[in-house]
Amino acid sequence: MTNRHIKFGDLYLNEQFVTVEPQAESKVKAAVNHIWLVDRSGSMSQELPRLIEDLKQRHRELAAGDTLSFGYFSSEGQYRFVFKGLKLTTEEDHNKLDQELNKYKQSLSLTCFSEILEDSLNVIEELSWISTKFALWLFTDGYPVVGNYKKEVENIRTALGKLESKLTSAQFIGYGDYYNKELLSEMSSIVGGELRHCSDQ
């Protein structure tokens, strides 16, 4: 393309064409808020030590900037989030978390999923200012033991239905050789997640 110019007395004002390179898209990865839910029911007593050791390795694989929330569940009314939105930046942070996780190798009582799933909605609301990306991880042998099993399954479906639009990903990890694959498959399908056996990790 020919450049044009305008003459001002003895001076010339030249028109120049400059090629502007498009700016590269930001490669900064959005933080992910990971939510870990651990089954501490009696049927998990043989699996919990191995599960906790798995989690010690897994939290070292989280990306910089990600957060971690950890909760456990057992009988009806027996559930708790130990911490929410934890950021791990140094090896000392990871070592301290290892020590904290060691406290949860012991089993408690029976099994209720729905309450911790419902409470996960509150965690998402609290942490959504950090990032809108949420990854749910549920570790269990998959057998609810409650006063009213039919109602519990309905409550599980309701809680997962509320979570579905808020989750970026979901993993349901079956521990033991006889985990309730049918129920966990249904749970994972509700939120578009994956069901995996712990040996596949």
pLDDT in tens, 175-199: 887 788 899 999 999 999 999 988 6
| pLDDT at residue 142, rounded to an integer | 85
User: Do 87 and 7 meet the contact criterion of CB atoms below 8 Å apart?
Assistant: no
pLDDT tens by residue, 25-44: 556 678 999 999 999 999 99
Query: Of 5-14, 15-24, 71-80, which has the strongest mean pLDDT?
Result: 71-80
HSE of 136, CA atoms in CB hemisphere, 13 A: 27
Question: What is the chain's length?
Answer: 201
Global pTM value: 0.84
For 189, the enclosing helix (H) or strand (E) is helix 181-190
Q: Average pLDDT in the 45-62 region?
A: 95
Place of tokens 């010690």: 56
In this prediction, residue 16 has a pLDDT band, given cuts at 50, 70 and 90, of: low
